[in-house]
Chain A
């Protein structure tokens, strides 16, 4: 099941008292990028870059939805309208990420490369989870030099 606005209320632990799990660059993405780089395959490299951007666009909408849910909860009318709009955008960006993953999988197959990695993403939820790891790992690598070196 996808994360809807009603689920965001479940995250309620005190975050200051404990360290979160560190964000790491996604290992499968790294492997796919390495394959594209070794082959000097510009098309595949561009498709992977597009996937990263679309994953970031996707989590941006999820996070905006979460923040709006919190910030506008005092104003039911504005809340309903804003959340509906962002939720629709979230659904669309999720579909774009799924299209990206399918395109990359087909590109691997077309080149005679192993595309069995696609089998682990059999549901929308599993692609959502991967998209979150790709997006946060990419942002982390941009911001934190140690993550880039990993």
Chain B
């Protein structure tokens, strides 16, 4: 079973990918930012950059088993 915090990290990175592919879409940008805010609430002791880096690392671990 995948933990909820992992799912949140995966959702956030999915939104990052979506915005990368469609950078001018305001709705997608808003969705990405909402997911980031939700993630931040779960990981309050990290800076924004640390959270982004952490979410990408979690995703890498999930996808590659690194």
Contacts and interface: CB of A to CB of B under 8 A. Distances in A.
A14 B18 CA distance: 27
B27 to A, nearest CB: 16
Given A15-B3, A70-B7, A63 B14 contact: yes
Interface of B is mostly: helix
A54 to B, nearest CB: 10
Interface string A115-150: 000000000000001001101101110111111000
Contact of A139 (B2, B7, B17): B17
Interface string B1-20: 11101110111011011101
Given A9-B2, A135-B17, A144-B49, A16 B43 contact: yes
A64 B12 CA distance: 11
Interface residues of B, number: 32
A59 B57 contact: no
Interface residues of A, number: 39
Given A15-B61, A60-B14, A139-B17, 7 more contacts: A12-B3, A20-B54, A20-B58, A63-B11, A70-B2, A142-B20, A146-B49
Interface of A: 3, 8-9, 11-12, 14-16, 19-23, 53, 56-57, 59-60, 62-64, 66-67, 70-71, 129, 132-133, 135-136, 138-140, 142-147
